Structure 1
Amino acid sequence: MSVNHDQENGLGSDGHDKDSRDGFIALAEGFRRRFAAGAARRDSQRALPHEEIQALRQSGLLSMRVPREYGGREADLVTFSRVIRLLAAGDPNIAQAIAPQFANLEKLRLYGTPAQQRRYFDLALDGAMMSNAAAEREGVFIGDVATRLVRDNGIWRLRGRKYYSTGSLFSSIILVTAQHEEGGRAAVFVPVDRPGVTVGDDWDGMGQRTTASGTSEFDNVRVDEGEILRIPAYGHRRTHEGGFAQLIHASIDAGIALAALEDACAYGRKQARAPRESGVGGATADPYVLHTVGEMAIIAHGAETLLERGALLLDNALRAEWAGGAESDRLLGEASIAVAEAKYATSEAAVRVSEMIYRIGGASATSAALNLDRHWRNARTHTTHDPVAYKARAVGDFYLNGALPPINTKI
C-alpha cells in the first residue's frame, strides 16, 4: 500500500511540529467520532473493525512515531498519548488492536540494525501494520516464553504457539517473541501470509471483544536473518521501552473513562428520570445525579492530567536517552514513575467511571440495546494487562526511599 504522506494524511507539507501535532489531533478526533458511532454495535455483534483499521492505515496515523531521519513525522509523546486516548474514547478495541504497531516501532528504534530500521520504517510509512505475539499460557511466571527460534540445516525456523496475538487478523507482519537458540530472546518479524503461520479468531474475553487477540501458531516457519531482532536481557540498561508501553495502556484506559463519562451525560440528558421524592422536574436537576456526574468527571479528568504529565516527562527523558546524556538513566526512571502513577490512576478511573453510569439511570440503563456495560467490560478486561499494585509499590518506594524502578519492560 502506498500512502501520500503530505496530501492523504491531512498533516500538511511544511514539516512544522505544531502543524503536525494539530494534524494528528484533528485526524484522531475525526476517527473518535466515527469509531464511537459503531462501537456498541461492533461489541454486541463481535464484528471485527476491518474497515476502521484500514482507514487508519491509509491515514498515516500508524506511522506517526517513525523517526524524522527515516522520513517520518515523529510525534512527540504528549501528542501520541492524546491520539491514542482519542481513538480509545471512540473504540478502545481499535486503539488496543493498533497498539502493538507503536510498541514494535520503538523496539525497532532501540534494537534494530540500520538495515532493519530502514526496511521496517519504510513499510510503516507505506501503510503496513504490525501486530505482536508475545504472551503464552504455559510457564511458571507471566512472560515466560517457550516459543523457540532454532537453526535447522542452516535455516532459521520459528516454532511455537502464542495465546494473545492482538491485532494480528488486521496486520501484515507479526513481531513474535521467542527464545533464541544462541541464548537470550529475539523478536522476529514474520509476514502473516508465510507458510506455517496460522492466526486464529478465538479470543473470547468478556470485554475488548474485537481486538483480534486470538491464538497464533508458528509451525516450523522459515525466518531470514534480517527478520531477527535480538533483544538484550532485562537489566542491560534503562530505556523508555517499558514506560512507552505503559503509556499506551494508560491512554487506552483514559479513553474508556472519558467515553463512559460522555455516554453517562448523554443518557442523563435524554433518558434518565428523577425519582418523585427528588423534588425536581428531571434528572438533569437531580442533586445526586449532578454529584455523580461531577465525581465521574473529576476522576476521569484527574487521571487524564496525570497521563499528560507522564507523557511529558517520558518525552523529555526520551530526548535525553537519544542524546546519550549522563542524566538519562535518572530521567528515564523518574518518567517511568510518572507513567506508573498515570497507569494506576487511569486503570482505576476506567473501571470506576464505567461502573458509575448505573447510578444515573437505574435499571433502564442496563438495557442490552444501549450496551452501556461494554465500557465496564472493556475497562475490566484491559486493566488486567498488568497488576497495578506493582505500580503503586514502585511509586511508593520512589517517594519514600528515592528508589528508581527496576530496569525491566513493565514499570
Structure 2
Amino acid sequence: MPTTPGTAGRRSADERRRALLRTARDVADDLSADAITRDQAGKPPHDEVARLREAGLPAALTPHASDHGADWRTGCTVIRKISTADSSVGEVLARHYVHAWSGRFYASHQHATTLEEESVRERWLWTGAVRTPVPGDDTDGTDLTLRPRDTGYVLSGRRFVETAVAVADQIVLDATCPVTGDVLVVRVPSHARGMTLEPAHDRLGQRVGGAGEVVLDRVAVTPGQVLGRRPHDEESAPPFTALAEPALRLALCHVGLGIVEGALTEARDLSRGGRAYRLPGADPDLFLTYGELASAAQTATAVVDRATEVMARALDPGAQLDAEEPAGVCALVATAETVTSKAALHVTARVLELADAPGLDRFWRNARVLTAHHPAAHRLRSIGEHYLNGSHRAVAAAFH
C-alpha cells in the first residue's frame, strides 16, 4: 500500500503514542522502586519532577496537535500508569495535563496555539487552581483580585494549589477584576516578582504531590498572560469552556484508578509471596475477597473509560458542541467520579485486612486525600436531578 501524507501522519502519531506509553511504563517502574521511601519523606517533588522532565513527559502531555502533544485517551492512560506506581506524581501529571489545556478552554485559537508551542519548547510544567462558578452565588467573588493598570494588571491574594506549587513553571488562577466585575483566568510564571510559595507539610496522603499556598503581592500580569474570562455560571459558559472542570475531575478519576490498581497489585504480590495474613491455596474466603475487589476495580474502570471516550470526542478539535452536550458529559464524569471514589476507598481499606506490610497504608491515605473534598451524596443528588429534569444547574452543582 503506497504511503500518502495522510497515512504517514497517522503512522507518525501512532508511533508517538506507542513511544509515550513505553516511556510512561519505564517512569512508573522507576517510581515504584522507591515509592514507599519517598512517601515517608513527604518532600516537595523536586526529584520526581526531574525524573518526569528527563523522560520528556511534561512536554509530551500537552493538548494534541499535528506534531506534538497527546490526545485525551493517551494522556489519561499515561496518568493512570504513573498513578499506579505513585499517585502523588500521577496527580501532578493529571493537573499539569489539564491546565495545559487552559488556552483552549479560555483563550482564542491563536493564543492557545502559541502558548502550547511555547510550553512544548520550554518543557513547562503546569499547575493551578481555577474555581468553578457556584450556582446561585450572586457574589461570584474569589480570594484573588486583578486590578487594571496602564501596562496590564496587578494580582493580589492567596490561593491553595493541590500540586507542584514549588516546582511548576506556570500557575493558572482565576481572579476578580473589581473595576469590571469580570473573573479572568490568568497564567503566572513561577518566578514572578511578588509571589511567594508556602508548601504544605505533614499531609495525610498525596504527600509527594507538592501542595501548598501561593501568596501574591501586587504581581504584575501582562495582557498576554490573561487567557480569558471565566463565565459567571455554567449555563452561560461556551460549550467548550464548560468542559474545563469536568476534564480535571476525569483526569483525577484516572489517578484514583491508579491507586486501586496499585493497591490490588501490591496486596496480590504480598499474598503470593507468603507475606499476608491469609495465604493463597484453597482458601475460599480469600478468593471471594479478591474477586470482590477485582470486580469493584473493573466496574470503576469501565465507567471511567466510557466517560473518557465521551470526553475525548467532545475535546476533539473538530467537535461542534451544542449547548446541551456539556451537561451530558458532566453528568457522566460525575458518575465516574462517584464510582471511582467509592472503589478507591473500599479497595484500599480492604487490602489492609489482607496484609500488614510497610507502606501498604499509603494507598488508603492517598485515596482519602484525593476524594475528601467531593462528597458522593452531593454528586448523586446532582446526577439524579439532571437525570430527571435535564438541569444544567444540577450538573454544575455536582462539581462543588
Structure-1-length-normalised TM-score:
0.84
Indicate how the Cα distance of structure 1 residues 116 and 329 shifts in structure 2: closer, same or farther if over 3 A, else same: same
Give the Cα separation in 2 of the matches to 1:144 and 1:379: 30
Matched, 1:112 2:73: no
The answer (yes or no) to whether the contact 2:91–2:209 under 8 Å persists in 1 is yes
Give the Cα separation in 1 of the matches to 2:318 and 2:395: 17
**Quick one: which amino acid aligns to residue 87 of structure 1?**
I
Per the alignment, in what secondary structure is the counterpart of residue 62 of structure 2? coil
Deviation (angstroms), 1:331: 3.4
The answer (yes or no) to whether the contact 2:17–2:70 under 8 Å persists in 1 is no
Equivalent in the alignment of 2:41: 45
Moved more, 99-108 or 218-227: 99-108
Indicate how the Cα distance of structure 1 residues 135 and 41 shifts in structure 2: closer, same or farther if over 3 A, else same: farther
Equivalent in the alignment of 1:215: 213
Give the Cα separation in 1 of the matches to 2:282 and 2:16: 42
Equivalent in the alignment of 1:382: 370
Matches within 5 A, 1:48-59: 48-59=44-55
Identity of aligned residues (%): 24
Give the Cα separation in 2 of the matches to 1:388 and 1:24: 34
The answer (yes or no) to whether the contact 1:135–1:163 under 8 Å persists in 2 is no
Indicate how the Cα distance of structure 1 residues 191 and 242 shifts in structure 2: closer, same or farther if over 3 A, else same: closer
Equivalent in the alignment of 2:346: 352
The answer (yes or no) to whether the contact 2:42–2:202 under 8 Å persists in 1 is no
Matches within 5 A, 1:224-243: 224-233=222-231, 234=233, 235-236=235-236, 237-239=238-240, 240-243=243-246
Equivalent in the alignment of 1:21: 17
The answer (yes or no) to whether the contact 2:151–2:222 under 8 Å persists in 1 is no
Deviation (angstroms), 1:48: 3.2
The answer (yes or no) to whether the contact 2:160–2:212 under 8 Å persists in 1 is yes
Per the alignment, in what secondary structure is the counterpart of residue 211 of structure 1? coil
CA RMSD of aligned residues (A): 2.8
Matched, 1:68 2:68: no
The answer (yes or no) to whether the contact 2:144–2:156 under 8 Å persists in 1 is yes
Give the Cα separation in 2 of the matches to 1:148 and 1:403: 31
**Quick one: which amino acid aligns to residue 362 of structure 2?**
R
Give the Cα separation in 2 of the matches to 1:323 and 1:184: 28
Equivalent in the alignment of 2:379: 391
**Quick one: which amino acid aligns to residue 231 of structure 1?**
R
Moved more, 230-239 or 210-219: 230-239
**Quick one: which amino acid aligns to residue 198 of structure 2?**
G
**Quick one: which amino acid aligns to residue 202 of structure 1?**
A
The answer (yes or no) to whether the contact 1:96–1:211 under 8 Å persists in 2 is yes
Q: Give the counterpart of 1:329 among 310, 323, 327.
A: 323
Deviation (angstroms), 1:201: 1.8
The answer (yes or no) to whether the contact 1:134–1:162 under 8 Å persists in 2 is no
Deviation (angstroms), 1:290: 1.7
Give the Cα separation in 2 of the matches to 1:68 and 1:33: 28
Deviation (angstroms), 1:203: 3.9
Indicate how the Cα distance of structure 1 residues 123 and 263 shifts in structure 2: closer, same or farther if over 3 A, else same: same
Give the Cα separation in 1 of the matches to 2:253 and 2:310: 15
Structure-2-length-normalised TM-score:
0.86
Matched, 1:131 2:127: yes
Give the Cα separation in 1 of the matches to 2:396 and 2:277: 51
The answer (yes or no) to whether the contact 2:386–2:395 under 8 Å persists in 1 is no
Indicate how the Cα distance of structure 1 residues 119 and 221 shifts in structure 2: closer, same or farther if over 3 A, else same: same
The answer (yes or no) to whether the contact 2:246–2:330 under 8 Å persists in 1 is yes
Indicate how the Cα distance of structure 1 residues 405 and 291 shifts in structure 2: closer, same or farther if over 3 A, else same: farther
Deviation (angstroms), 1:61: 2.9
Q: Give the counterpart of 1:91 among 86, 111, 118.
A: 86
Give the Cα separation in 2 of the matches to 1:23 and 1:323: 27
Deviation (angstroms), 1:315: 1.5
The answer (yes or no) to whether the contact 1:90–1:259 under 8 Å persists in 2 is yes
Task: List alignment gaps of at least 5 residues for structure 1.
Answer: 1-11, 276-281
Equivalent in the alignment of 1:5: none
Per the alignment, in what secondary structure is the counterpart of residue 163 of structure 1? strand
Q: Give the counterpart of 1:288 among 285, 290, 293.
A: 285
Give the Cα separation in 2 of the matches to 1:245 and 1:59: 23
Deviation (angstroms), 1:99: 2.6
Give the Cα separation in 2 of the matches to 1:356 and 1:110: 39
The answer (yes or no) to whether the contact 1:273–1:283 under 8 Å persists in 2 is no
Equivalent in the alignment of 2:255: 252
The answer (yes or no) to whether the contact 2:147–2:154 under 8 Å persists in 1 is yes
Equivalent in the alignment of 2:147: 150
The answer (yes or no) to whether the contact 1:274–1:286 under 8 Å persists in 2 is no
Matched, 1:373 2:370: no
Per the alignment, in what secondary structure is the counterpart of residue 323 of structure 1? coil
Give the Cα separation in 2 of the matches to 1:47 and 1:150: 35
Deviation (angstroms), 1:382: 0.5
Q: Deviations over 1:290-315 (max 9, x none)?
A: 21112111111110111111101111
Matched, 1:174 2:175: no
The answer (yes or no) to whether the contact 2:21–2:78 under 8 Å persists in 1 is yes
Deviation (angstroms), 1:118: 3.6
Give the Cα separation in 1 of the matches to 2:215 and 2:142: 14
The answer (yes or no) to whether the contact 1:133–1:166 under 8 Å persists in 2 is no
The answer (yes or no) to whether the contact 1:29–1:87 under 8 Å persists in 2 is yes
Task: List alignment gaps of at least 5 residues for structure 2.
Answer: 1-7
Indicate how the Cα distance of structure 1 residues 192 and 214 shifts in structure 2: closer, same or farther if over 3 A, else same: same
Indicate how the Cα distance of structure 1 residues 180 and 410 shifts in structure 2: closer, same or farther if over 3 A, else same: farther
The answer (yes or no) to whether the contact 2:94–2:255 under 8 Å persists in 1 is no
Q: What is the number of equivalent residue pairs in this alignment?
A: 380
**Quick one: which amino acid aligns to residue 338 of structure 2?**
Y
Indicate how the Cα distance of structure 1 residues 221 and 402 shifts in structure 2: closer, same or farther if over 3 A, else same: closer
